[in-house]
Chain A
Amino acid sequence: MYRMRVSNYVAYISVSLIWLITELSLAQYIQYSGIIILGTLINIISIILVSYRPTYHKYLFIVNTALLTYVGFTIPNYLATIYSIIMSVSIVIYLVLIDLIELSFLLISLPIIYVSYVAERLLERSLIVNKLMTLIGPIGVNARLFALILSWYLSLFIISIIAILLALLLTRRFSK
């Protein structure tokens, strides 16, 4: 399969630049931007450190990801969607660049994500999920988020079961 391999240093610097731009963009929106400034400083120090010792890239990545995830929990909801997408994309890009995720398999998995999305849309409108939303509401949990998680989990679960059953069926057929 096709492998996208660059040096660990280039992979880390690419992702840290995405983070740096995100942090600098966020700093102007948030009133209490102390944690953002701390995050930016740690990011810059990490860039310097990785320039001297590229072998530490994984540890520096984990530290910065943890810090940025914490930052994510402090930002207002109207920025949360774009911030979570940037974070997810940066993590996936890093894993692809350091060759822990194979790009070809990731690209082939896109149809599965699309099918799950279609299933999720159908499930979200289903009677069971709506009924559960009305039950969850009084508990204090965000019913919309709960419905989102539940419908995505269900759609992926159904697709996984179909895929595994298909593989098992083929296994039995060809092992006889």
Chain B
Amino acid sequence: MTRHNSVQTLGHDLPKLGDSYQDYDAASRSIGKRRNTIHVIPSNKLLALYMLLSGITYTGLITNNVFGTYLGLILFIVFTSYVLTWYLLTSLTLLFSEIVFESSRIEVTIDTSTSLNVRVVSRIPIKLGISLSLIHSPHITSSEERVTINGDYHTMNLLGRWIGDVGIIGGIVSIEDRMGLMRIQGLIISDETHVIVRPARVYREYGRFGLVGYGEVGTSLEGRLGDLKSLVEYDYERPASTIHWLTSARVNDLIMISRSEYGSCPAVIMDSSSKVLIPKDGKRPIDDFLQIISDIAQHCPEIKVVLISRDHVEQRFVAWDSIPNLEHYVRVRVVSNNMDNAMINVPKHLQRYLGINELLEIAYVGRELNDEATDIEIERAHSIIGGTKQIVLLRISPNRGDVPHESE
């Protein structure tokens, strides 16, 4: 069985959130409305079988042959009642099924795997073998797995592809009878579980991004720019200049000064247009941006990030822990501004059963919108930042490609 690869754009008839995005942001975390839907797909084998049985029956009738009529009729009765029973029991079992996740929130670092225990339970006490694929955005990849309804927990492997906060809203279950006469596909919306895909914790030199003066000089600025918070045990990954020698000698252990580094941290101006969310060869520019923010956040407790796109400039304060939330915020904002541009990895015939919040949770940006920031927005962003000495400009430049720039 293959995974649902059919990528569909969302229809024009979907409601637009537009200005009500803020309402969504608050409500999006309380989805979890359980409901199931089934879709029956009869195969050509079913048609062929009934044509064969009818053929035998009518040949018997026309030739006045009792055997032909009886054989065709008996097999017709047996197969019809069997298929009907299978259809009814399977449909009811799927309708009363629920996907249960062992944990409501798991974390994974980008490009690494984690596992999630999943179980499908039904109020109809029948054990049925089904294939299950989870419904989520492409931030994580999961494969279609064989599970048993009312069976034990099944471990599903999830690979973090893109940084972000991903909601798994349920699953698509599929079951086919042994003769391949009919397939029933069920959409099960369950209580949502969240997968937080975090950026890698890499201790890089900021000079890589052209921020001359931060990596080395920034340390020396700490005394002037950061307030002394406390004395803590020395972290061997921090610069040796942070060691407070007097206290270290007194307690006979290495003690360093923990400072509020906000003042010495650079501010970030980040492109939040649709362009940064479009995957190219499986990677999105925003993941590189978020990784840079993550690198900065290793040394700064809170970073000022100014999001810019056409007619939109917004300042947010981001800590390392909240980087996936920033991605979620940017993505949902872009998707909700133009639903026609969004894509979703759910078969089209099942999409209409998804609510707007569920669609937004799993949608990703497929095509570029004309929403790139102009010089006006960049100027506004600079004015918001004000007197901060270091500014990292994370922006796709048409001339220079997907590279971060530095300005002072």
Q: Is A145 part of the binding interface, using a Cβ–Cβ cutoff of 8 Å? A: yes
With A and B bound together, what is the CA distance between A160 and B96 in angstroms?
21
Q: Is B87 part of the binding interface, using a Cβ–Cβ cutoff of 8 Å? A: yes
Give the interface centre of A145, A146, A160, A176 by most chain B CB atoms within 10 Å: A145
Chain A residues positioned under 8 Å from B67 (CB to CB): 72-73, 75, 77, 80, 83-84
Inter-subunit contact A113/B77 (CB<8 Å): yes
Q: Is A24 part of the binding interface, using a Cβ–Cβ cutoff of 8 Å? A: no
Interface residues on A, range: 35 or more
Chain B residues positioned under 8 Å from A84 (CB to CB): 66-67, 70-71, 74
Q: Is B128 part of the binding interface, using a Cβ–Cβ cutoff of 8 Å? A: yes
Interface of A is mostly: helix
0/1 per residue, B85-99, Cβ < 8 Å to A?
111110110011000
Given contacts A72-B71, A84-B67, contact A159 B76 (CB under 8 A): no
Contact of A145 among B37, B66, B80, B92 (CB under 8 A): B66
Chain B residues positioned under 8 Å from A112 (CB to CB): 81, 84-85
With A and B bound together, what is the CA distance between A112 and B128 in angstroms?
21
With A and B bound together, what is the CA distance between A33 and B28 in angstroms?
77
For chain B, residues 201 to 224, give those with C-beta under 8 angstroms from any C-beta of chain A. Answer: none
Inter-subunit contact A145/B36 (CB<8 Å): no
Shortest beta-carbon distance, A50 to chain B, in Å?
A: 21
0/1 per residue, B40-84, Cβ < 8 Å to A?
000000000000000011011111111111110111111011101
Inter-subunit contact A105/B95 (CB<8 Å): no
Inter-subunit contact B77/A80 (CB<8 Å): no
Shortest beta-carbon distance, A51 to chain B, in Å?
A: 25
Q: Is A141 part of the binding interface, using a Cβ–Cβ cutoff of 8 Å? A: yes
Inter-subunit contact A105/B82 (CB<8 Å): yes
Chain A residues positioned under 8 Å from B69 (CB to CB): 142, 145, 148-149
Chain B residues positioned under 8 Å from A160 (CB to CB): 80, 84
For chain A, residues 130 to 160, give those with C-beta under 8 angstroms from any C-beta of chain B. Answer: 141-142, 145-146, 148-149, 152, 156, 159-160
| Chain B residue nearest in CB terms to A110 | B81
Inter-subunit contact B35/A176 (CB<8 Å): yes
Chain A residues positioned under 8 Å from B85 (CB to CB): 105-106, 108-109, 112
Chain B residues positioned under 8 Å from A174 (CB to CB): 35-36, 95-96
Inter-subunit contact A69/B56 (CB<8 Å): yes
With A and B bound together, what is the CA distance between A97 and B91 in angstroms?
25
0/1 per residue, A44-84, Cβ < 8 Å to B?
00000000000000000000000001001101010011011
With A and B bound together, what is the CA distance between A101 and B180 in angstroms?
10
Inter-subunit contact B80/A175 (CB<8 Å): no
Inter-subunit contact B89/A163 (CB<8 Å): no
Shortest beta-carbon distance, A61 to chain B, in Å?
A: 14
Given contacts A112-B84, A112-B85, A113-B81, contact A152 B76 (CB under 8 A): yes
Q: Is B238 part of the binding interface, using a Cβ–Cβ cutoff of 8 Å? A: no
Given contacts A1-B127, A72-B67, A163-B88, contact A171 B73 (CB under 8 A): no
Q: Is A87 part of the binding interface, using a Cβ–Cβ cutoff of 8 Å? A: yes
Given contacts A69-B71, A152-B77, A160-B84, contact A105 B66 (CB under 8 A): no
For chain A, residues 4 to 50, give those with C-beta under 8 angstroms from any C-beta of chain B. Answer: none
Contact of B77 among A72, A116, A145 (CB under 8 A): A116
For chain B, residues 1 to 20, give those with C-beta under 8 angstroms from any C-beta of chain A. Answer: none
Q: Is A88 part of the binding interface, using a Cβ–Cβ cutoff of 8 Å? A: yes
Q: Is B179 part of the binding interface, using a Cβ–Cβ cutoff of 8 Å? A: yes
Q: Is A167 part of the binding interface, using a Cβ–Cβ cutoff of 8 Å? A: yes
| Chain B residue nearest in CB terms to A95 | B179
Inter-subunit contact A175/B353 (CB<8 Å): yes
Chain A residues positioned under 8 Å from B64 (CB to CB): 141-142, 145
Inter-subunit contact B92/A80 (CB<8 Å): no
Shortest beta-carbon distance, B358 to chain A, in Å?
A: 13
Given contacts A87-B71, A112-B84, A142-B64, contact A92 B89 (CB under 8 A): no
Chain B residues positioned under 8 Å from A100 (CB to CB): 178-179
Inter-subunit contact B62/A116 (CB<8 Å): no
Nearest 6 interchain pairs by C-beta = A84-B70, A80-B67, A80-B66, A109-B85, A72-B67, A109-B81
30 residue pairs of the A-B complex, CB under 8 angstroms, read: A72-B67, A73-B63, A73-B65, A73-B67, A73-B68, A77-B67, A81-B66, A81-B70, A84-B66, A84-B74, A85-B74, A95-B179, A101-B82, A101-B179, A109-B85, A112-B85, A113-B78, A116-B81, A141-B62, A142-B64, A145-B60, A145-B66, A146-B61, A156-B81, A167-B91, A170-B91, A170-B95, A171-B38, A174-B35, A175-B37
